[in-house]
Chain A
Amino acid sequence: MVTREDVEHVALLGRLELTEEEKEIYTRQLNDILGHFQALQRLDTGNIQPTAHVLPLKNVYREDWVGQHMPREDALANCPDRDENYFKVPKIV
């Protein structure tokens, strides 16, 4: 059962600002979704390995060599604010 407090907590972790109305809607919707998954929980999955990846792939590696770096101006091009060669971010705490 997802409570309104759960929704507020998840919103905080995701840095989402929700209106009272949205909290109401999401509490209801998240409960609907979890209800749907409860149907799946009736299946016996005792002999099934947990899924780590949806594709049948394994051991994809790259060799340890150094390639081209991005020009710094490209790296900083999209940042909302900068201070010389640094990304500038709002006060954290």
Chain B
Amino acid sequence: MTNYETVIGLEVHVELKTRSKIFCDSTTEFGGEPNTHVCPVCLGLPGVLPVVNKTVVEYAIRAALALNCQIAGFSKFDRKNYYYPDMPKNYQISQYDLPIAGHGYLDIDVNNEVRRIGITRLHMEEDTGKLVHQGTITTTPYSLVDYNRAGVPLVEIVSGPDLRSPEEARVYMEKLKTIIQYTGVSDCKMEEGSLRCDANISIRPVGNEQFGTKTEIKNLNSFKALYRALSYEVERQTGVLNKGGRIVQETRTWDEREGVTLPLRSKEYAHDYRYFPDPDLVPMIIDPEWVEDIRRSLPELPDARRERYMQEYGLPGYDAGILTSTKELADFFESCVSAYPNPKAVSNWMMGDLSRLLNAGGVELTACKIKPAQLASLLQLMDEGIISGRIAKTVFEEMFASGKDPGDIVKEKGLVQISDKSAIMAVVEDVLAKNPKSAADFRAGKERALGFLVGQVMKTTRGKANPELVDKLLKEKLLQEKL
């Protein structure tokens, strides 16, 4: 049987978070009553004139530079013509042969190997309105249209056919999201549609230079959907070729519920857009100095930041990768480390307890009540022996729930660690007296019995006893009595 290689290219749409739309001054705010965020321009009424929002061009350049693209000196907008009521004009303003940027790349890490994925082009365009169907698009008696999103600025980022597996595609998409979020030009919220993805996928016999016939998969609106749909499509195409069949070049849609890709009727997506330069919009000559200004204003990007965390803080690559996976997480980390200069301890708390609580509560880090300085003072309380590591976890949960300072919580709840030797010894003696069997077991060489006895002391002191002291005093007492 032939061995096949998978070839994938992604087209990613990113909504830019400008205040107003790309060609008019209607708001880009998400939601709103249907057809209230509109004006004559984005409704395509006769006689109106679109004018480019300068911030859209700036954001597009910003995203492009972060993806190592070259910025075009000369760029223009074109009309993409099609009949579909998601645009009231019967065309979408996009960029065809002279996009704002291209020839970039981004590096992804897959199985400890760095792969460089080409960014073929990055262009600006307007988003479309939203169609509401009753049931599915094919069974609905009619459709309803809301033009609030029509004219919201987008950049489309097209990768080269450089991805070799569904896993690489997923990692690429995550990396792209991270980089774009760092630049601050988009929220990249897949659930609100501000980050969307279509994929081109084909397979070819290993060693073949020529690409196989590709299919285009639409509706990949989560990382999971992307991975599953592409995995399904690899299987499907391999099955067709192994049975001696041929791949049909077509657009398919991912059916999340059934877990399959299905062909869309070709008439719906006739690729005959008859692009031509939009006569309402004039060309853009991009000033290289403007580009350099934007380049200088870019923050440290994830790859550089990750490298620095390994060099400067001595963190393992795994920690550095997770901590720099969002700008917010990395900023939180650095702020905490500046107050408590033990990077690995901070990293452990952030990747452990903090991320556990955030995930469990479905809370974004930006909405987290714990501030970096508060995590730092919690770690200090532990270092100073005021609370034990075990109590720290309880305090941390309380901080997460209330946003209170750890010092206040410790005082209010009387959680100060008991480090008074005689107080602990009294409990130790009491526990040993009540558990003669465990004491005998330990003396007979069963190390495990000690754990139980430590647990009993901690329970009696409600976790406040200094664990090291408990351990030491228990051993002392047990060995003493053995003699």
Question: Number of A residues whose C-beta is below 8 Å from B?
Answer: 36
Docked-complex contact B141 and A62, CB < 8 angstroms = no
B279 within 8 Å of A (CB atoms): yes
Q: Complex formed: what's the CA distance from A15 to B82 in Å?
A: 10
Docked-complex contact A91 and B143, CB < 8 angstroms = yes
B345 within 8 Å of A (CB atoms): no
A57 nearest CB neighbor, chain B only: B282
Docked-complex contact B36 and A52, CB < 8 angstroms = no
Query: Given contacts A85-B33, A88-B142, are A64 and B285 in contact (CB under 8 A)?
Result: no
A41 within 8 Å of B (CB atoms): no
In A56-92, the 8 Å CB interface with B consists of 57-70, 72, 75-76, 83-92
In B34-74, the 8 Å CB interface with A consists of 34-40, 43, 51-57, 74
B413 within 8 Å of A (CB atoms): no
Docked-complex contact A88 and B144, CB < 8 angstroms = yes
Q: Is the interface of B mostly helix, strand, loop or mixed?
A: loop
Q: Complex formed: what's the CA distance from A65 to B53 in Å?
A: 9
Docked-complex contact A72 and B35, CB < 8 angstroms = yes
A93 within 8 Å of B (CB atoms): yes
A43 within 8 Å of B (CB atoms): no
Query: Given contacts A53-B279, A86-B132, are A62 and B143 in contact (CB under 8 A)?
Result: no
A54 within 8 Å of B (CB atoms): yes
Docked-complex contact B20 and A87, CB < 8 angstroms = no
Docked-complex contact A93 and B137, CB < 8 angstroms = yes
A39 within 8 Å of B (CB atoms): no
Instruction: List the B side residues contacting A88 at CB < 8 Å.
Output: 142-145
Docked-complex contact A62 and B279, CB < 8 angstroms = no
Query: Given contacts A92-B85, A93-B137, are A87 and B142 in contact (CB under 8 A)?
Result: no
B263 within 8 Å of A (CB atoms): no
Q: Complex formed: what's the CA distance from A26 to B76 in Å?
A: 32
Query: Given contacts A64-B18, A70-B43, are A59 and B268 in contact (CB under 8 A)?
Result: no
Instruction: List the A side residues contacting B56 at CB < 8 Å.
Output: 64
B30 within 8 Å of A (CB atoms): no
Considering the complex of A and B, which 10 residue pairs feature the smallest CB-CB distances, nearest first? A67-B25, A86-B144, A61-B54, A64-B55, A57-B282, A87-B145, A62-B51, A85-B34, A89-B85, A52-B283
User: 25 A-B residue contacts at CB 8 Å?
Assistant: A51-B277, A53-B76, A53-B277, A53-B279, A53-B282, A58-B282, A59-B284, A60-B52, A61-B54, A61-B57, A63-B54, A64-B56, A66-B19, A67-B20, A68-B39, A72-B33, A75-B147, A84-B34, A85-B34, A87-B145, A88-B142, A89-B142, A89-B145, A91-B142, A93-B265
Which residues of A approach B to under 8 Å, CB–CB? Answer: 9, 13, 15, 51-55, 57-70, 72, 75-76, 83-93
Q: A86-B34, A86-B35, A90-B143 are in contact. List 6 more A-B contacts (CB 8 A).
A: A61-B51, A63-B53, A65-B25, A91-B140, A92-B85, A92-B143
